[in-house]
Amino acid sequence: FVLFNLFIVSEAKAQSSDNKLDLAYNYLNEGQTDLAIGLFEEYINSDSTDTKIHLQLAYAYKQQKSTEKAKEYFAYVYNNSTNPEEVSASKNELDLINKNSDITVLNKAYEKLGSGNTAEAIQLFEDYISKNPKSTSVYLQLAYIYKQQGNTEKALGYFQYVVDNAVN
């Protein structure tokens, strides 16, 4: 009798979880992302290893432009899923997020340069090349900035890097 009751309670919880997931997917389809996220988060609290739901959360946060939360969930799936499709999708999304982040840094650097804030522009360009060392156009930009500032030694170093690494 006790085993039967445990089975019934367990079955009821599973049914409830499935109903909540169905509702969460319905919310997503209706554009009610906040409500869907709430239910997915609640589900993850009861089954934290379900990578499929982590992936859904990542996409929901991406849709909301909550990049850091999306990145967190994509990374979880990438590092924990055994499903090759989930791993591949997560990797592609993480690469895209990182690429967009780099483009944002580069755009900010050019904005700072255009507004005369050379020191901040240099820092942003330096940050960009630390992650994108093959970007000779940014090295060239830095070379011209340093040349304009009269820092010949740094300018020559960056010009030399461009010459040594330019693609014909």
pTM of the model: 0.60
Q: At what angle do helices 51-63 and 84-114 cross, to 10 degrees?
A: 30
Residues 48-83 have pLDDT tens digits of 889 999 999 999 999 888 888 999 999 999 999 999
Residues 102-153 have pLDDT tens digits of 788 888 999 998 899 999 999 999 999 998 888 899 999 999 999 999 999 9
**35 vs 55: CA distance, rounded Å:** 16
Retrieve residue 125's tokens.
């360009």
Question: CA dist 76 to 66, 80, 82, 117, 122, Å?
Answer: 16, 6, 12, 38, 34
The alpha carbon of residue 78 and the mean position of all alpha carbons in its chain are separated, in whole angstroms, by: 12
